[in-house]
Structure 1
Amino acid sequence: MNEAGSILHDGFLLLGFALAFVLLFRRLGLGATLGYLLAGAVVGPQALGLVGQAEQKLGFAELGITLLLFLVGLELDPARLWRMKKDILGLGLLQVTLCGLAVAGVIFAFTDFSAAAALALGLPLALSSTAQVLPMLQSSGRLRTRFGERAFSILLFQDLSIIPLITIITALSRNPADAGGPPGWLLGLETLAAIVGLVLAGRFLIRPLFRLIGNLGEREMFVVAALFTVMASAAVMELLGLSTALGAFIAGVMLADSPYRHELEADVEPFRSILLGLFFLAVGMMLDLGAIARNPVFVLSMAAALIAVKAAVMFGLARLFGMGWRPALALGLLLSQGGEFGFVLFAQAQHALLIAPEAASVFGAVVTLSMATTPFLMMATRRFREAPADADEEREGPGGERVGALIVGYGRFGQTVGQMMLASGIDVTLIDTDVEMIDVAGKFGAKVYFGDGTRIDMLRQAGAAEAEMILFCLDGDQLSADLIEAAHEAFPNAAIYVRAFDRRAMVRLRDAPTTLVVREVLESAVVMARAALDNFGLSQEAINKAEAFYRKRDNERLEVQIAAGDVRAAHERVITETGDAGAAPA
């Protein structure tokens, strides 16, 4: 009972302070990350002391980073990841190596640390904060641009480099206990074997599992299965002593080209947001204010040196790889902070007897302060960094293409709409919940994603914020005016087209902000009636007259029904007598 009370007490305080600080910092345009960090510092043991056990909370909150990497993996199918290999292996390798050596050189030159200790501190400081940078790219809509891909390529290589960095620190170790540890080449083979195992599991186990859940129609099981996938892949990596975030990323990549991608994104995103916020709260709680107070000049100057060195090196590398000076400056500043994995590597260096606990606390404070400066730097340099958008920076939609139209429902109706739009050269994203239909469509070469298109979060994950129009082509009477209103408020730039089930649906949607509402069988019924009248021998003029008369009476009746909100109104407008339109056989 005491433990449960402690959890509720801590959760209440953490969420309350986070809510207040994040709202304030959002209002000031400083971003959520800085709000979380400051909230954690205020509520933590170094300030008010309202909440403790920061290390324990940090270990749990690291699931947020794991979920973040899983979601990023879902954005990058294997083919797209292969296209990024030059940036990952080239730009990423050079960034980690050159920034690590440069920062280590500064530490060695201006402090009393030995060369081994400077290297053990400098290399971790070369890593940037994935947990901070990726949400910034997502919120600004730049994650899927060329700029965003290069930033992510560097972050991905940094995550891959954790094993080599641990190996280097172990090789420099002064601790006799590390002498019997596994060699670096064995860790590399274990990493490769784990990645191959996750790829095979994703292909032959995870995909069939999601197909089974889709057939059963149990939506809540998607949430369970998604979290199971992330945690299982992370647990395998942790068991081998590897990066848990890397395992989650590989699992995401394996599901990136599956029909369930958008549903998974929508289900995992809320957990990712909450846990990532908790992560930054825990980082703020761990900020050693005492270490800063004892060495204020050193901590501030080292944080400034770290930002300047990393930004300068990154700027030069970006220019070397053909980027303009504006995006190169933006990339350098965006990746100039220290990262969350620095805490892990500092602990490793402390265990290796390369640095004292006091040094680990001081450089942990340096990392936290550098993370806090990123929003200010991006704001202060905005007018220098930003240039008119060009084609290279155009946003992309799901699957790597810009979204022109989002079609919800790929049954008989949606197939016709989708094929006509594709034939006209319009980029279309298709969503449906019928697994069997998705499989059949795949055999004909159509890419249909699994997901509930009546959920706003699902529409957002599918690219509705970028779409020019959203077309609801669902079978049955599933749509409400509230849903259409919510979709319009969430995506005001998208025109909304609706397939209505019958007159009742037309009346129900009378005040909905739609561009067009079409009764699903009206036009096909008119086509059949015209063909029948032609077979009776009526002239085209008479057929046109009959159609015009019917449409006029039907529209008049519908207007009265919509005004009254009652489908029983204007029943006298129903055509029940022969020859009302004056049509007669030719």
Structure 2
Amino acid sequence: MDSHHLLQTALVFLLATVIAVPLTKRFRLGAVLGYLLAGVAIGPQLLGLIHDTSGVASIAEFGVVLMLFVIGLELSPQRLWVMRRSVFGTGIAQVLASGLAIGAVAYWLFGLDGKAAFVVGGSLALSSTAFGLQILAERKEAGSAYGRHVFAVLLFQDLAAIPLIAALPLLAASSASHVELLGVLRTIAVIVGVVVGGRYVLRAVFRFVAKADSVEVSTATALLVVMGVAWLMELAGLSATLGAFLAGVLLADSEYRHEMESNIEPFKGLLLGLFFISVGMSMELSLLWHRPGLVLTLLALLLALKSVLLWPLGRWLCGLNRSDTLRLLVLLAAGGEFAFVVLRLAAEQRLLSVAQRDLLMLVIALSMALTPLLVVLAAKALDLRPRQPSREFDTIDTAPPRVIIAGFGRVGQIIARVLRAQGIAFVALEHSADQVDLSRRFGTINLFFGDPARPELLRAAHAATAEVFVLATDDPEANLRTARLVKRQYPHLKIVARARNRQHVFRLLDLGVDDPVRETFHSSLKMTRKTLEALGLSHELAVDRVERFRRYDEDLLQKQALVYDDETKLMQSTRDALVDLQRLFEADAERAAERQRDKGPATPDSPE
């Protein structure tokens, strides 16, 4: 491809993206639908501006590889073990039930052979991680009960896609069983090699690179790791997505996790967008015009079959109410991006014909395009409307501060008053227009109306040069969204975070926020001390008992953060902690009694 043609192709992609994506996001239909429509528009089926769809697809599929790497970064082996019940319980149930049902329909009703039915069932059982996580984030529902189950199912589907892709060459092989056995052994050996090598090599590499203190070198290193492991996997005849996911998991516990995620995110978003554009370009829209009955029947059958299976899954296995089950169903009923990869490879391995592949890819793309519309309809049916700001956000025009305060309620105001008295420059962002107007009546300066979770507002507030970011918002979900954004885009900032309760603390710890401050914990400890003193204990003894409890509870909090997704273990650890604490205080009382006996009879004023 000459440079002129390459430049022209890039301009077409960028122009289509700039037009289509803002339009779909304006109507709250999501960016992914915009990418699909952009691909349809510039592809050979419509305007014909781009003809090399296969060449674009081979580059764009690296976006899926980067997405798997980022998912792996979010999930350490320890975290995966904690989430095993929801991931491997709910996830396995969904994939097996949907895969078997769709495969049976393909085999009995449409006459596909066993191998083709297996591929169709496995690929159509998968849902769109890109769509699901994006919609959850946009609607601020990632931390809800149904949002956590959606994430668990999508995570297992991503894991299930890897062996499904790896199994395609074995399904297509007509060689003897010993050759297949050698392939399995080779697969195991390569995976073990990547895991062992990554455990001892990758972190040493990142420590060496960190000494250079260069963002560009760190970004290049992160891309080198992803591409290198993916290349090794492909050399061994395995899936590049498996290598990317393993690399992410191996680095999930690394101190460089958030920096890597921040560096990879722009490339992932760009290439994933290119992937969906390539999917739109390759859609055989002529099938919709020539065989609309078949296409629409398959589309309705896919959505209906997965919905019927997802309803009892949400109600009984996940324990969700009807409205949450409906929202889970809407997000998971459509097909997903990994199905495109599976179907393309299946056609290359001659497990499916090109016509079958094109028909199924069109059905999956249409089901994904319907997902944002179904989400909006479900929200209207449940009367769940996203909150809109009552007025336009303020324009931030101020000198670079040392501290940024997110949230200007009771907590934020106290922090701001002390900083102002100390002459420390700060900027406060508050999402409530009423709170901003009320505070400004008392002469508060450097307070602006805006959402702290908006990247453009953080840039305007000079987050790049600030030293400390104070998370004082009273909304846990807004708090977590802001923490995630700050950790990714401004990893140098020291975050001081307010937490409503223990669950909120656990999720902040997951994001890498050190030592979140529970908003009622310290005031409760002070009230406990005053209560003990009112009961007759000396001030010193009351302080000692409260301090012992504080240290014990903070240690327990760190231990429970590892198992907070497992309700059974969490409840058991709480019961065990109560027993241990009682024993600790009883032992203190016995030692105090022994000391008192050694001293002689107790005086009337003695608290013991």
> What's 2:242 paired with?
246
> What's 1:5 paired with?
4
Aligned-partner residue type, residue 26 of structure 1: K
Aligned-partner residue type, residue 359 of structure 1: Q
Change (3 A) 1:244 1:349: closer
RMSD across aligned positions (CA): 3.7
> What's 1:546 paired with?
none
Q: Verify: 1:292 aligned to 2:296, yes or no.
A: no
Residue of structure 2 aligned with 1:338, choices 327, 335, 344: 335
Q: Verify: 1:266 aligned to 2:266, yes or no.
A: no
Q: TM-score, normalised by structure 1?
A: 0.62
Q: What secondary structure sits across from 1:323 in the alignment?
A: coil
Aligned-partner residue type, residue 80 of structure 1: R
CA contact (8 A) 2:129 2:336 kept: yes
Q: Verify: 1:467 aligned to 2:486, yes or no.
A: no
Query: How does 1:309-324 map onto structure 2 within 5 Å?
Result: 309-324=305-320
Separation of aligned partners in 1, 2:262 and 2:13:
25
**How far did 1:71 drift?**
1.7
Aligned-partner residue type, residue 152 of structure 2: S
> What's 1:363 paired with?
360
> What's 1:231 paired with?
227
Q: Verify: 1:279 aligned to 2:313, yes or no.
A: no
Change (3 A) 1:457 1:211: farther
CA contact (8 A) 1:163 1:187 kept: no
Separation of aligned partners in 1, 2:255 and 2:229:
20
> What's 2:218 paired with?
222
> What's 2:298 paired with?
302
> What's 2:125 paired with?
126
Q: Verify: 1:35 aligned to 2:15, yes or no.
A: no
C-alpha distance after superposition, 1:81-119 (max 9, x if no partner):
111112232222222221012122333454344555434
Separation of aligned partners in 2, 1:66 and 1:336:
23
Deviates more, 1:277-286 or 1:129-138: 129-138
Q: Verify: 1:376 aligned to 2:373, yes or no.
A: yes
CA contact (8 A) 1:303 1:366 kept: yes
Aligned-partner residue type, residue 239 of structure 2: S
Structure 2 segments unaligned to the other structure (5+ residues)? 387-402, 406-414, 416-457, 474-484, 497-608
**How far did 1:339 drift?**
2.1
**How far did 1:222 drift?**
0.6
> What's 1:62 paired with?
61
Separation of aligned partners in 2, 1:75 and 1:167:
23
C-alpha distance after superposition, 1:120-145 (max 9, x if no partner):
32222112223332333344444466
Change (3 A) 1:187 1:337: farther
Aligned-partner residue type, residue 68 of structure 1: M
C-alpha distance after superposition, 1:227-274 (max 9, x if no partner):
111112222222233332232222222222222222112111111111
Deviates more, 1:278-287 or 1:195-204: 195-204
Separation of aligned partners in 1, 2:55 and 2:157:
24
CA contact (8 A) 1:163 1:188 kept: no
Larger Rg: 1
CA contact (8 A) 1:163 1:242 kept: no
Query: How does 1:155-554 map onto structure 2 within 5 Å?
Result: 155-162=154-161, 164-165=163-164, 178-180=174-176, 187-324=183-320, 325-351=322-348, 353-384=350-381, 467-468=471-472
Q: How many residues align?
A: 411
Aligned-partner residue type, residue 472 of structure 2: E
Separation of aligned partners in 2, 1:78 and 1:15:
38
**How far did 1:377 drift?**
1.0
Separation of aligned partners in 2, 1:465 and 1:34:
35
> What's 2:595 paired with?
none
> What's 2:478 paired with?
none
Deviates more, 1:249-258 or 1:54-63: 249-258
Separation of aligned partners in 1, 2:469 and 2:292:
45
CA contact (8 A) 2:469 2:495 kept: no
Aligned-partner residue type, residue 316 of structure 2: L
Q: TM-score, normalised by structure 2?
A: 0.60
Aligned-partner residue type, residue 192 of structure 2: V
Separation of aligned partners in 2, 1:131 and 1:182:
39
Q: What secondary structure sits across from 1:161 in the alignment?
A: helix
**How far did 1:376 drift?**
0.8
C-alpha distance after superposition, 1:160-188 (max 9, x if no partner):
33465457766765xxx633587666555
CA contact (8 A) 1:162 1:243 kept: no
**How far did 1:383 drift?**
4.0
Aligned-partner residue type, residue 174 of structure 2: D
Separation of aligned partners in 1, 2:495 and 2:119:
56
Q: What secondary structure sits across from 1:179 in the alignment?
A: coil
**How far did 1:365 drift?**
0.8
Separation of aligned partners in 2, 1:207 and 1:171:
34
CA contact (8 A) 2:24 2:30 kept: yes
**How far did 1:36 drift?**
0.7
Structure 1 segments unaligned to the other structure (5+ residues)? 390-404, 408-416, 418-453, 470-485, 498-586
Q: Verify: 1:105 aligned to 2:104, yes or no.
A: yes
Aligned-partner residue type, residue 265 of structure 1: E
Calculate percent identity across the aligned residue pairs.
38
C-alpha distance after superposition, 1:398-451 (max 9, x if no partner):
xxxxxxx999xxxxxxxxx9xxxxxxxxxxxxxxxxxxxxxxxxxxxxxxxxxx
Separation of aligned partners in 2, 1:496 and 1:125:
42
Aligned-partner residue type, residue 56 of structure 2: K
Change (3 A) 1:8 1:167: closer
CA contact (8 A) 1:64 1:274 kept: yes
Change (3 A) 1:195 1:352: closer
Aligned-partner residue type, residue 345 of structure 1: V
Change (3 A) 1:187 1:96: farther
CA contact (8 A) 1:36 1:277 kept: yes
Separation of aligned partners in 1, 2:345 and 2:78:
36
Change (3 A) 1:36 1:245: same
Aligned-partner residue type, residue 28 of structure 1: F
